[in-house]
A and B are shown apart, each in its own frame.
Chain A
Amino acid sequence: MNGFKTPYPDYDVLEKWDTPSWNPQTRAVVRRRLDQVPERRFLTEQEWQLLEAVAARVMPQPDRADPVPIVPWIDDTLAANRGPGYRYADMPPMREAWRQGLAGIAGEARERHGRNFGELPAEVQDALLGAIQRGETDGRHWGDLPAARFFSELLLKQIVAIYYAHPAAWNEIGFGGPASPRGYVRLGFDERDPWEAGVPDV
Chain B
Amino acid sequence: MFERITEPRARDGRAPDVFRPGAWMPMRCHADEEEVDFAIVGTGAGGGTLAAKLAEAGFSVVAFDAGPFWRPLEDFASDENAQGDLYWTDERITGGADPIQLGSNNSGKGVGGSTVHYAMVALRFRPEWFKARSKLGYARDWPLSFDELEPYYEEAEESLKISGPVHYPWGRRRRRYPRRAHPMNASALVLARGAERIGIPWSPVPLATLSAPRGMAHPCVYRGFCIYGCSTNAKQSVLVTFIPRAIRAGAEIRDQAMVGRIEMGKNGRATGLLYHRCGVWHRQKARHVVVAGYSIETPRLLLNSACAQFPNGLANDNGLVGTHLMIHSGPGVWGEMDEEIRSYKAPPSLAVTEHWNYHDEGKDFHGGYAFMSGGPLPGGWAHTLIGARGLWGMALRQEMTRFNRMAGLRIVGETEPKPHNRVELADETDQYGLRIPRVTFSFSDNDRRLMEHSIGSMRAVLEAAGARNLWSDRDSSHLLGSCRMGDDPEDSVTNADGRTWTIPNLWVCDGSLFPTSGGVNPSLTIQALACRIGDRIAAMAKRGELGR
Contacts and interface: CB of A to CB of B under 8 A. Distances in A.
B2 A23 contact: no
A85 B392 contact: no
B94 A87 contact: yes
A60 interface: yes
A89 B438 contact: yes
Contacts of B381: 164
Interface string B1-36: 110000000000000000000000000000000000
Nearest to A129: B392
Nearest to A187: B185
A160 interface: yes
Interface string A147-188: 000001000110011111100011011111111111111011
A8 B402 CA distance: 11
Contact of A93 (B91, B224, B440): B91
A35 interface: no
A120 interface: no
B57 interface: no
A87 B91 contact: yes
Interface stretch (B154-162, B256-264, B383-391, B448-456): B383-391
B346 A187 contact: yes
A163 B90 CA distance: 25
A2 B82 CA distance: 32
B495 to A, nearest CB: 32
Contacts of B390: 133, 152
Nearest to A163: B382
Contact of B79 (A156, A169, A178, A185): A178
Given A85-B102, A187-B184, A59 B221 contact: no
Contacts of B379: 160-161, 164-165
B482 to A, nearest CB: 16
Contacts, number: 215
Contact of B185 (A85, A157, A188, A196): A188
> Interface extent on A, as a size class?
35 or more
Contacts of B346: 184, 187
B102 A169 contact: no
Interface in B364-392: 377-379, 381-383, 386-387, 390, 392
A29 B2 contact: yes
Residue of B77, B100, B387 with highest tally of chain A CB at under 10 A: B77
B429 interface: no
Nearest to A60: B394
Residue among A169, A188, A190 facing the most chain B CB atoms (10 A cut-off): A188
Given A87-B92, A88-B93, 4 more contacts: A85-B88, A161-B81, A164-B400, A175-B403
16 contacts: A25-B76, A29-B82, A86-B92, A86-B103, A88-B99, A89-B99, A163-B382, A175-B404, A176-B224, A178-B77, A178-B78, A179-B224, A184-B222, A184-B224, A184-B345, A187-B222
Give the top 8 A-B pairs by smallest Cβ distance, nearest first.
A85-B103, A183-B221, A89-B95, A178-B78, A85-B89, A86-B102, A179-B223, A187-B185
